[in-house]
Amino acid sequence: MRLLSGDRSRNTDASDHDWRRPLLALAAITAAATLSACTLFSYSPTPLPSEAPTPQPTSSASPAQPASCGNPLASYQPSDPLPKPDALPNGSTMSKIKKRGRLVAGVSADTYLLGSRNPFTGEIEGFDIDMVKAVAKAIFGNEDRYQLKVITAAQRIPALENGDVDIVARNMTINCDRWKQIAFSAEYYRSGQKILVRKGSKAKSIDDLAGQKVCAPIGTSSMDNLIKKAPKAIPVGADTHTGCLVLFQEGQVAAITGDDTVLAGLAAQDPYAVVPDQRSFTEEPYGLGFNSSDVDFVRFVNARLDDMRSDGEWTSIYNRWLRDSLGPAPKPPIPVYGRTR
Amino acid sequence: MSQASQQVGTAEVIAPPSSAAGAATATPPSASPASVSPQPDSASSGRLAKAAAAINQMSTPQRLRLLSLGVVVVGVVIGVVGALIFASLASSLSRAKADTAQLIRVQKIQSNLLSADATATNAFLVGGLEPPVQRAAYDQAISGTSALIAEAAQAQPADGAALSALNQQVLSYAGMIEQARANNRQGLPVGAQYLRNASAQLRNDALPILDNLVTTNAARATDEMKAGPGYVVVVIGLLALAGMITAQVWLARRFKRRINVGMLASSIVLFVVVVGSLIVVLQLRSALNDISSGSLAAVNTAADARINANNAKANESLTLIARGSGQAFETAWKSSADSVSEGVGRLSDRPELASQWQAYTDVHTQIRALDDGGQWDKAVARATGSGQNSSNTVFGEFDGNLAGYLDGVSQDASSSLATQQPVMVVAAILLLLGGLAVTLLGRRGVAERLREYR
């Protein structure tokens, strides 16, 4: 006790300092270190996904040497007479379809006027769809017994080869390359490739598009023709012609090339898109596509098309869809037959 | 009084010096072998030996002064380092809380966007005139997304670049959806193309950015949820305690007194500090383990399930829009739906989520059967209707329930992190005071002995 009290009286001054100095030092060091730790702290920035390489507009398969197959327009001789829906030959492709209860057709849902979805009704409608209905009527006696599968241009041939669809009615050009993989009906419409440009553009034909970006769907004859006829234009690919219209509206391409029927449908959706008066630079004969082994079905459809041409059904379908955009109905294309293989 | 104490003091001084003075004055023979022997050894051990020799050559007061300095160093190190470490644990926790909040925000942006896409694609199936309820739901999802992006950018500057890239994607997505709507309302097929482009852009460009944000913030939160540095305090404390005990043994031998009150009190404080730190660190570790395997795991599972569920719902509509060639969308539906089933299966505290999801997948299977069977119209009616058994109603029940659950577990996670924070702050303050007490008590104990030499 004594010792403690004496201790205190003697060291009052010193112990005061003893007290404060370490405390102050402790507080100062702690504060400084905490502060610097807090202010210096920051995370490294969140990484952005590495830029995916923008898919180069593939110029489709450039056919080195166009295949030759005689007259590509020649299809199989039509069955004569056209069998009635209740008298389809046993074991034929048609009777198999009838047994299933519906005709499965590969079509476009966004090619205005030919095959497009009407947003008001949800129905897909157009010139090509009416062709499907005509075939369904010949098989079932009822034009509504069909199921549509929406496919892109590039899916047309695989869908037929895989048997996903019975028939393709999707503005498909008949040519020898395709005859090697699938079969065609007789020509049901004659179209030609043209260009669509912005209103006020000086370009009037494919020759005026050198150095400009021109869109066409990948895997179509339109793309092949573009590369062939306008090698100086910059080809840009899209999945469909409507995809091209989006690029056109976004200002990413200056022009679109395609069949006049398709372009008419695109121009109808955009008041600033025009198809200038021009001569089409290709002939695009449309045919309905089939699996190459369904020759009986091709003959059957050819007979049906013959009837439609002669009884005016073809002309009334044309008038329903195309007259407003493309003028009065021409004569239906003259069918060519005689294919044996 | 004071004389008496001094006498006691001098008596003490006289008693010990016999050995201490000998060591100090006569270059003690005991010291020389220590300084000679290390010569062949490496330089560092030589230096250590020299230091030991230097201490050996010191007089007792010099040693006491050194001990006093040592006690100060021990106290300051324990106080400052301990306080710093616990303060850093507290700030780690606050960052973990912020990172978790950001993670939840980013996941919400993701599910909002996919829910907007699910609504937009579903409304598109209905036709040109979209139902006002769906329009409102879409608008709400998009405006909620914008608000969350701004909030997230403010909350975590390191996410700024990614969020600004995301914002561009959202703007362009919303723009394309508006164009799809305007065209669709006029019956123009190009509207469908805008919708497809918008959905594709969302999945190809916007979602990868969000995936990065989710993984990065999750990793940040995990990195911050640590207790490890706390053990450093315990280790330093144990070393200091060993030093203090050694010093006391020396004091007891030198001064023939068993106990030095100051040093003993200082050691007891040090012991309490060590044990207290160990307890705090161990409970922090177990609390963090509970959070990451409990509420935080539930947040991740539920958020993932919600994102995948909305992705699946959008793909259901896209499959129908593609009309027959939507196999890719159906495949995407399947893989999303599988991960939702797996996720809700793990949320064992809410079994009704699994059964509600099952109910939706049943409706989806029926829709697919209708469409594949050629009855597209009926499939669309089932997918877009608002009836009792429609896809929208059944999915809506599941999604609403899951969103509520997600909010709950999100709050749990951040509040359990929040409760740990004050514990660390208090620990830091107590360590600082503890270090101070060790210093003062220890110095006082040594000073008591030192005074005997005055």
DSSP string spanning B208-268? HHHHHHHHHHHHHHHHH---TTHHHHHHHHHHHHHHHHHHHHHHHHHHT-S--HHHHHHHH
- Which of A30, A118, A240 is facing B84, going by the closest CB pair? A30
pTM for this predicted structure: 0.74
CATH number at residue B174: 1.20.1440.210
Q: Which of B84, B124, B130, B188 to mutate to test the interface with A (most CBs of A within 10 A)?
A: B188
Interface touch B87/A26, C-beta < 8 Å: no
B212 at interface of A, judged by CB pairs closer than 8 A: yes
- Chain B stretch 259-298, residues whose beta carbon is closer than 8 A to a beta carbon of chain A: none
pLDDT, mean of residues B86-102: 89
Interface touch B323/A109, C-beta < 8 Å: yes
Dihedral sign, Cα of residue B77, residue B81, residue B86, residue B87 = positive
B217 at interface of A, judged by CB pairs closer than 8 A: yes
- One domain for residues B362 and B372: yes
Domain boundary among the residues B224, B248, B283 is at B224
Establish if B31 belongs to a structural domain: no
Residues of chain B with C-beta less than 8 angstroms from the C-beta of A104: 374
- Which of A22, A47, A117 is facing B75, going by the closest CB pair? A22
Establish if B58 belongs to a structural domain: no
Q: Answer yes or no: is pLDDT of A109 > 90.
A: no
Residues of chain A with C-beta less than 8 angstroms from the C-beta of B376: 147-148
Domain boundary among the residues B224, B254, B281 is at B224
Establish if B169 belongs to a structural domain: yes
- One domain for residues B147 and B201: yes
Q: Answer yes or no: is pLDDT of A66 > 80.
A: no
- One domain for residues B329 and B339: yes
Q: Note the pLDDT of residue A166.
A: 95
- Which of the residue ranges A13-22, A156-165, B19-28, B299-308 would you say has the lowest mean pLDDT? B19-28
Identify whether the C-beta of residue A147 lies closer than 8 Å to the C-beta of residue B324.
yes
Cβ partners under 8 Å of residue A77, min gap 6: A299, A302, A337, A338, A339
Q: Please tell me the total number of residues recorded for chain A in this structure.
A: 341
Residues of chain B with C-beta less than 8 angstroms from the C-beta of A149: 323-325
Taking alpha carbons only, the member of B354, B359, B355, B350 closest to residue B408 is B350
Return the number of CB contacts < 8 Å for A and B. Answer: 165
- One domain for residues B174 and B313: no
- One domain for residues B230 and B155: no
- Which of A22, A106, A159 is facing B76, going by the closest CB pair? A22
- One domain for residues B181 and B267: no
- One domain for residues B325 and B389: yes
Is the link from the previous residue into A81 a cis peptide, with omega within 30 of 0?
A: yes
- One domain for residues B132 and B277: no
Q: What is the DSSP string of A223-249?
A: HHHHHHH-TTSEEEEESSHHHHHHHHH
Q: What CATH class is the domain A193-274?
A: alpha beta
B435 at interface of A, judged by CB pairs closer than 8 A: yes
Total domains in chain B come to 2
- What is the C-alpha to C-alpha distance for residues B297 and B293, in angstroms, rounded to an integer? 5
B60 at interface of A, judged by CB pairs closer than 8 A: no
Cβ atoms within 10 Å, residue B47: 12
Taking alpha carbons only, the member of B258, B236, B239, B238 closest to residue B248 is B258
- Over residues B159-189, the pLDDT tens digits come to 999 999 999 999 999 999 999 988 888 888 8
Return the percentage of chain A with pLDDT > 70, whole number: 83
Establish if B41 belongs to a structural domain: no
Interface touch B440/A37, C-beta < 8 Å: no
- Over residues A266-283, the pLDDT tens digits come to 998 899 999 988 888 888
Cβ partners under 8 Å of residue B18, min gap 6: none
Residues of chain B with C-beta less than 8 angstroms from the C-beta of A109: 189, 192, 323
Residue A228 structure tokens: 């062939």
- Which of the residue ranges A42-51, B231-240, B437-446 would you say has the lowest mean pLDDT? A42-51
Interface touch A150/B322, C-beta < 8 Å: yes
- Which of A37, A102, A242 is facing B374, going by the closest CB pair? A102
Domain boundary among the residues B174, B198, B224 is at B224
- What is the C-alpha to C-alpha distance for residues A20 and A73, in angstroms, rounded to an integer? 106
| Alpha-carbon separation of residue A9 from A5, A153, B1, B2, B109 (angstroms) | 6, 104, 11, 9, 70
Residue B147 structure tokens: 């608000």
Establish if B260 belongs to a structural domain: yes
- One domain for residues B176 and B89: no
Q: Answer yes or no: is pLDDT of A164 > 60.
A: yes
Nearest CA in chain A to B371: A147
Q: Which fold has domain A74-191+285-337?
A: D-Maltodextrin-Binding Protein; domain 2 (3.40.190)
Residue A216 structure tokens: 């066409």
Residues of chain A with C-beta less than 8 angstroms from the C-beta of B5: 2-3, 6-7
Helical packing angle, B327-346 and B295-322, nearest 10°: 160
- What is the C-alpha to C-alpha distance for residues A295 and B442, in angstroms, rounded to an integer? 107
- One domain for residues B201 and B168: yes
Q: How far is A261 from chain B (nearest CA, A)?
A: 15
- Which of B162, B205, B443 is facing A18, going by the closest CB pair? B443
- One domain for residues B327 and B417: yes
Q: Answer yes or no: is pLDDT of B150 > 60.
A: yes
Q: Answer yes or no: is pLDDT of A17 > 80.
A: no
Q: Answer yes or no: is pLDDT of A121 > 60.
A: yes
Q: Note the pLDDT of residue A21.
A: 62
B400 at interface of A, judged by CB pairs closer than 8 A: no
| Alpha-carbon separation of residue B155 from A46, A312, B217 (angstroms) | 13, 71, 12
- One domain for residues B240 and B111: no
Q: Which domain holds residue B189?
A: 106-224
The residue ranges of every structural domain in chain A are 74-191+285-337, 193-274
